[in-house]
């Protein structure tokens, strides 16, 4: 039986990866290591928490000695590292948390693997990253695996730094690493600070939908379960030392996405057409707001046969249905500090 460490498994993407691995691989023991920040929620894993091949360990990846002790105790065969501070807006207001979690935390895991693993053959350290490390595109072009790094927010700079360190450990110590850089994910269990769940939450509660700047920024959206499938394939078949870009080939201007979401919400909530659109409010732009992200995922499509399975309209509809059916989940994650943090007065443009 192999033991796989998945970090950040109580978060959005991590919970989908844990669910997939626990169910699909009964021969793996899956250890979910997460310190349950505001973004980590064990309710994301209710359907697998009692599985015999699953164990949760509450621990902070910034604790280096503890990481080594856990590597010794569990004798991990592989690592899928997702734990991170993940929201750009928070990185603008509190950059240091991103430095500790994303950079120091990643190095602690690399050091634990390097020093505790005696033999690197059959081992694998898979680091999950973002397309934001490549910076911002103009109206045309795509991010490729060999696009130069040009991060512009504290979040993307911290992820870029962690990617560089992972590659450094591959080249310097021969640690068997692999990296993937993915575009914006959406789907169930995403914390309502990111655009789609925040807008769903606000529309449902008749609150304004804050659109930064002119709403013309473009993101490439991928359904989270498609990302989990890609992670599964890269973990098992990806080439050591390589990088894979993952994306939806699904670019949307923020304002167009919000319009589509408003239409779906009006229909699902049985409100008259146009009701939700009245909530759209243009607010002060995000500092250093990247204009456009777009991934070329040709490499993973060609080498591993992966491709996105869902059309955006279908994925968005499923996502809305999930949030409307899981009010209790939303109530829990928006209790406590949420109001103070996210329901501040936006400055109107």
Catalytic center residues: 131-132, 155
Nearer to ligand TYD by Cβ, of 57 and 283: the residue is 283
Q: Could you identify the residue written with the tokens 């919970």?
A: 15
Nearer to ligand TYD by Cβ, of 23 and 318: the residue is 318
User: By the 8 A CB rule, do 180 and 245 touch?
Assistant: yes
Mark residues 276-295: x for contact with ligand TYD by CB under 6 A, - for none: ----------x---------
Least Å distance, CB 61 to ligand NAD, is 4
Count the helices and strands in the chain (H runs, E runs): 13, 12
| Interatomic CA distance for residues 306 and 246, integer angstroms | 9
| Interatomic CA distance for residues 216 and 341, integer angstroms | 25
39-68: which residues touch ligand NAD (CB under 6 A)? 39-40, 60-62
Mark residues 185-204: x for contact with ligand TYD by CB under 6 A, - for none: ---------xx--x------
Kindly write down the DSSP assignment for every residue of 284-320, as one continuous string. PPPTT---B--B--HHHHHHH-----S-HHHHHHHHH
| Interatomic CA distance for residues 126 and 11, integer angstroms | 17
The residues near 94 (Cβ < 8 Å, ≥ 6 apart) are none
User: By the 8 A CB rule, do 249 and 220 touch?
Assistant: yes
79-118: which residues touch ligand NAD (CB under 6 A)? 82-86, 101, 105
Least Å distance, CB 265 to ligand NAD, is 21
Strand ranges inside 1-88, DSSP E: 2-7, 28-34, 54-58, 78-81
Nearer to ligand NAD by Cβ, of 120 and 329: the residue is 329
Least Å distance, CB 126 to ligand TYD, is 21
Told to check if 254 binds ligand TYD by CB under 6 A, we report yes
User: By the 8 A CB rule, do 237 and 231 touch?
Assistant: no
Least Å distance, CB 122 to ligand NAD, is 25
Q: Which does 40 bind (CB under 5 to 8 A by kind): ligand NAD, ligand TYD, none?
A: ligand NAD
Binding region for ligand TYD (CB under 6 A): 88, 184, 194-195, 198, 210-212, 217, 219, 254, 286
Binding region for ligand NAD (CB under 6 A): 8, 10-14, 34-37, 39-40, 60-62, 82-86, 101, 105, 128-130, 159, 182, 184-185, 191
């Amino acid at each position: 039986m192999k033991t796989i460490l998945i970090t950040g498994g109580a978060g959005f993407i991590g919970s989908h990866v844990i669910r997939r691995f626990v169910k699909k691989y009964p021969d793996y023991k899956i250890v979910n290591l997460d310190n349950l920040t505001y973004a980590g929620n064990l309710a994301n894993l209710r359907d697998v928490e009692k599985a015999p091949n699953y164990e949760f360990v509450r621990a902070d990846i910034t604790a280096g000695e503890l990481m080594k002790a856990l590597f010794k105790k569990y004798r991990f065969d592989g690592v899928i590292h997702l734990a991170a501070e993940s929201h750009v807006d928070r990185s603008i207001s509190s950059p240091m948390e991103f430095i500790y979690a994303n950079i120091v935390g990643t190095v602690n895991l690399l050091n634990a693997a390097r020093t505790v693993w005696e033999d690197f053959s059959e081992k694998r350290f898979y680091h999950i990253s973002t397309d934001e490390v490549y910076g911002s595109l103009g109206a045309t072009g795509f991010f490729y695996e060999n696009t130069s790094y040009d991060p512009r927010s504290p979040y993307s700079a911290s992820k870029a730094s962690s990617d560089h360190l992972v590659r450094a450990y591959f080249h310097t110590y021969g640690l068997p690493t692999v990296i993937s850089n993915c575009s914006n994910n959406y789907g169930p269990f995403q914390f309502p600070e990111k655009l789609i769940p925040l807008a769903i939450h606000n529309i449902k509660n008749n609150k304004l939908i804050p659109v930064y700047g002119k709403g013309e920024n473009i993101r490439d959206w991928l359904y989270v379960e498609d990302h989990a499938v890609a992670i599964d394939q890269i973990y098992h078949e990806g080439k050591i030392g390589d990088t894979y870009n993952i994306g939806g080939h699904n670019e949307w201007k923020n304002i167009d996405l919000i319009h589509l979401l408003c239409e779906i919400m009006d229909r699902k909530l049985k409100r008259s057409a146009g009701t939700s659109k009245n909530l759209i409010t243009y607010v002060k732009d995000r500092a250093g707001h990247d204009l456009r992200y777009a991934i070329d995922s040709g490499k993973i499509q060609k080498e591993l046969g992966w491709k996105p399975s869902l059309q955006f309209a279908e994925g968005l509809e499923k996502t809305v249905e999930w949030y409307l059916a899981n009010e209790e989940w939303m109530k829990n994650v928006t209790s406590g500090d949420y109001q103070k943090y996210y329901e501040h007065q936006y400055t109107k443009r």
